[in-house]
């Protein structure tokens, strides 16, 4: 028996005066899962989140929380809580009064408020800080207080509006893990929006990629990364080398394409095979490209070719190398393993680079793919 989803959106649409911010979005978030909405700024994800919170009203469509429609319900009457982008902790109150705010609104007795505030602060790892002021806390502590302020109300769904955006890089990495732990600890449904793909990939059970008001794909991190549904997802989630050109041959799902620079490349088309003569794009992950210093090895790969090292970007385990095609001048980015004879690779050397066609994805250019 499938439990009812905590949050259901059906054909949710929001029109502003001159454009459509959210365009027929439908999805379900099961109880206790971590759901992320990932998209570039301006894609409509904030509008979508604010509709769930109750600060925007859908132009059409329905929104259900625990099976109850939320249309016409004010933000103060919904069983959802929100962690705001800049946290919105009340500077005119101390931490205890901040966390107790929601309970006071419900008319809970002050002794019980005290007990529950104490308990929730303990659960987020900040016991006994009730009397401190907001500006006495560090960035990470504020983050946890903001979550505690919501969790003390035991909401059905917790909404998070890019709360890590204001933190510095190191703290952000740390908070990613902590957020995931807190979510497991409270076992509450989290809906998280971000433009940072690594935040979404690391924390989420399911991710929706949003672009121009629509969901391009919903899936697990792995699915988005390895089986992108279209060119936008392939380009937005993770790093990828992108080539554009004209389709010259199709063999089952394997498409052959000639780039503007005259290089022939091969890739798999999983979402609709483009016709011969059509324009198409190929995406290859940097780590999918195999490098070899020995030019005699590469003949078995159809994409293999000799390329010149343009520059080496050393970054420990994440080191990259930029290779240039001697004929066309096109460059690609390749993960540089810090092992074997590739270790000492320097500018100007020639290497053999190639990838198997099934590890690259091909999508038809233009609007052809969008409908799928």
Residues that bind other proteins (CB under 8 A): 50, 53-57, 74-77, 80-82, 84-86, 88, 90-93, 101-102, 104-106, 149-150, 153
Q: How far is the CB of 116 from other proteins (least distance, A)?
A: 14
Residue whose CB is less far from other proteins, 50 or 195 = 50
Residue with tokens 């022939």, as numbered in its chain: 264
* 287 C-beta neighbours (distance < 10 Å), count: 14
Distance between CA atoms of residues 331 and 126, nearest Å: 50
Min dist. Cβ of residue 53 to other proteins (A): 6
Sheet order of strands, 157-161 included: 80-83, 157-161, 189-194, 34-38, 206-211, 214-219
Please state the closest distance from residue 93 (CB atom) to other proteins, in A: 7
CB of 136 to other proteins, least distance (A): 18
Least Å distance between CB 85 and other proteins? 7
E-strand ranges in 162-302 read: 189-194, 206-211, 214-219, 241-251, 254-259, 264-268, 279-284, 290-292
- Using the minimum distance from each CB to other proteins, give the nearer residue, 98 or 230: 98
CB nearer to other proteins: pick between 12 and 89: 89
Q: Which is nearer to other proteins, 44 or 219 (CB)?
A: 44
Residue (53 or 288) nearer to other proteins, CB: 53
Nearer to other proteins, 46 or 197 (CB): 46
Q: C-beta of 15: minimal distance to other proteins in Å?
A: 16
The total of other beta-carbon atoms located within 10 Å of residue 23's CB is 17
């Amino acid at each position: 028996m499938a439990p009812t989803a905590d949050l259901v959106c059906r054909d949710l649409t929001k029109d502003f005066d001159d454009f459509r911010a959210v365009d027929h979005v439908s999805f379900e978030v099961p109880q206790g899962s971590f759901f992320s909405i990932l998209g570039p700024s301006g894609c409509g994800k904030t509008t979508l989140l604010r509709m769930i919170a109750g600060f925007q009203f859908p132009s059409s469509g329905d929104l259900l929380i625990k099976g109850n429609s939320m249309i016409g319900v004010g933000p103060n009457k919904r069983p959802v809580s929100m962690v705001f982008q800049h946290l919105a902790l009340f500077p005119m109150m101390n931490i205890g009064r901040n966390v107790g705010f929601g309970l006071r609104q419900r008319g809970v007795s002050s002794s019980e408020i005290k007990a529950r505030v104490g308990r929730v602060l303990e659960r987020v790892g900040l016991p006994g800080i009730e009397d401190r002021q907001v500006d006495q806390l560090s960035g990470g502590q504020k983050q946890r207080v903001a979550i505690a302020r919501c969790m003390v109300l035991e909401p059905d769904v917790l909404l998070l509006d890019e709360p890590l955006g204001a933190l510095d890089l190191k703290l952000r990495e740390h908070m990613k893990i902590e957020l995931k732990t807190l979510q497991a600890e409270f076992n509450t449904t989290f809906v998280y929006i971000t433009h940072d793909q690594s935040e979404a990939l690391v924390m989420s059970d399911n991710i929706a990629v949003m672009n121009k008001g629509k969901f391009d794909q919903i899936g697990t991190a792995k699915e988005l990364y390895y089986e992108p549904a279209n060119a936008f997802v392939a380009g937005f989630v993770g790093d990828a080398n992108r080539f554009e050109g004209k389709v010259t041959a199709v063999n089952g799902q394997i498409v052959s394409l000639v780039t503007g620079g005259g290089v022939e490349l091969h890739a798999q088309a999983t979402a609709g095979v483009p016709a011969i003569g059509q324009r198409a794009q190929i995406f290859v992950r940097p780590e999918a490209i195999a490098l070899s210093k020995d030019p005699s090895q590469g003949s078995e790969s159809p994409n293999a070719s000799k390329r010149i090292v343009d520059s080496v970007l050393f970054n420990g385990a994440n080191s990259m190398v930029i290779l240039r095609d001697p004929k066309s001048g096109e460059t690609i980015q390749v993960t540089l393993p810090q092992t074997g004879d590739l270790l000492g690779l320097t500018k100007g050397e020639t290497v053999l680079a190639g990838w198997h066609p099934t590890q690259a994805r091909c999508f038809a250019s233009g609007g052809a793919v969008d409908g799928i």
